Amino acid sequence: MLKQNKITDQNKYYLTSIDDLPKIRGQPKLHKIDTQMRIVTCSRDTITSPISQFIFRIIKELRTTLSGVVCNTSNFIKIITDVKLNQDEHLASLDIQDLYTNIPVNKAIDITLKRLDESKKLDNLPFTKTDIKELLILALKNSYFQFNGKFYKQKTGLPMGIHYHQY
């Protein structure tokens, strides 16, 4: 992308300046009895962080094209406060087990690219659909981490705790 003048030298330095791999840690589920530790990937300031942040800035507006999207807790509270239920209606809260590790990454990339096409956002950017796809693959399919001095790669889904949870 640098050779094609799509990014600057400064962008290239930013995107390639960190070479640390994410680490994993076990986080106890204090609200549940006799359950396994939740494996969380600590990925701030690691090798894919800059790429994730860069691609997020490009695709973040896509959330506004979806109905029913809640971006954060404050947004949810604002929405739920205005909900009026009839006597025969109920609200339900659901928990998806292993949400991130069950996300089909290829399908997520395809959906993102389709949404980008539909939104016409790429019309105002120097990047092609192929550029965006390559950045998404770099950010989402390189789930390497280090544990006890050994290197591993997550085979499916997205790691929990990885920097792109903001997507």
Q: Domains in the chain: how many in total?
A: 1
Helix axes 129-140, 49-59, angle to 10 degrees: 140
Which pLDDT does position 163 carry in this prediction?
A: 56
Whether 59 is covered by a domain: the verdict is yes
Determine contact, residues 75/110, Cβ cutoff 8 Å. no
Determine contact, residues 158/35, Cβ cutoff 8 Å. no
The residue segments making up the domain with residue 153 are: 14-65+98-166
DSSP 3-state assignment of 10?
Answer: helix
pLDDT, mean of residues 149-165: 76
pLDDT tens-digit map of 8-26: 778 776 777 777 777 777 7
Whether 4 is covered by a domain: the verdict is no
Whether 111 is covered by a domain: the verdict is yes
Within 10 angstroms of residue 80's Cβ, the number of other Cβ atoms is 10
Which pLDDT does position 167 carry in this prediction?
A: 44
Between vectors from CA 106 to CA 29 and to CA 23, what angle results, nearest 5°?
Answer: 40
Whether 32 is covered by a domain: the verdict is yes
Which pLDDT does position 162 carry in this prediction?
A: 58
CA distance 73 to 29: 20
Whether 49 is covered by a domain: the verdict is yes
pLDDT tens-digit map of 31-59: 777 777 777 777 777 777 888 888 888 88
Distances (CA, A) of 54 to 60, 67, 69, 120, 133: 10, 24, 22, 19, 13
Q: What's the chain's Rg over C-alpha atoms?
A: 19
Whether 106 is covered by a domain: the verdict is yes
Which pLDDT does position 10 carry in this prediction?
A: 81
Whether 82 is covered by a domain: the verdict is no
pLDDT tens-digit map of 81-138: 888 999 999 988 777 777 788 889 999 999 999 988 888 777 888 888 899 999 999 8
Whether 76 is covered by a domain: the verdict is no
